[in-house]
Amino acid sequence: MWCFGVRCPYCNHEETKVTDSRDTGRYTIRRRRECLKCNRRFTTYEYIEMMPLYVIKKDGRRERFDRNKIKNGIMKALEKRPIGQDKIEEMLDCIEEKIRRDGREEIESSTIGEYVMDILKETDQVAYIRFASVYRSFADVTSFEKEVRNLTAEQKK
């Protein structure tokens, strides 16, 4: 495949060819390219441009959707748990797909929180309890115990 418009980063020549193409996520394609002048190889990434998405916070403020904020919350909940980075990225992809599937331009932060809780409950129950304790603002040990009892009861079903 010949490509015009992607300049070689080494000699600035415009003609390159794609030697390999791979999906690296739901919204990303990795391409290995070779310059037709200097024959050096380099990698480019193509991303699907998504419509802007805004999150409506509890206090009514709107802010642009930031996948990294969700990732940080999940990472805190999964700290010292046996879940790899690939699984975390898979969880993030799943959450973002749920958010974008509606096609709406705005989503409530509480809805995102519920999506995170659902996927953590399926993946790691300790992480789920950690996240729930912050997200639901457990006021005391009784609230914490109640959530653990609910989780245990769901497991038995």
* 120, 82: one domain: yes
Question: What pLDDT is attached to residue 4?
Answer: 55
Number of domains present in the structure of the chain: 2
Residues 86 and 36 in one domain: no
d(Cα 39, Cα 66) in Å, to the nearest integer?
39
Mean pLDDT score of the chain, rounded to an integer?
A: 87
Query: How high is the pLDDT of residue 1?
Result: 53
Say if residue 36 is in the same domain as residue 103.
no
Indicate if 73 and 142 belong to the same structural domain.
yes
Is the whole-model pTM more than 0.75? no
Task: List, in sequence order, the alpha helices (H) in 67-124.
Answer: 67-77, 85-101, 109-123
Shared-domain flag, residues 65 and 140: yes
| pLDDT, tens only, 84-112 | 988 998 899 899 889 988 888 999 999 99
Do 43 and 100 fall within a single domain?
no
The mean pLDDT value for 30-45 works out to: 93
Q: Cα separation of 134 and 19, whole Å?
A: 48
* 75 and 102 together in one domain: yes
Domain membership of residue 26 as a residue range? 2-47
The tens digit of pLDDT for each residue in 102-157 reads 888 999 999 999 999 999 999 998 998 889 888 777 777 777 788 888 888 877 76
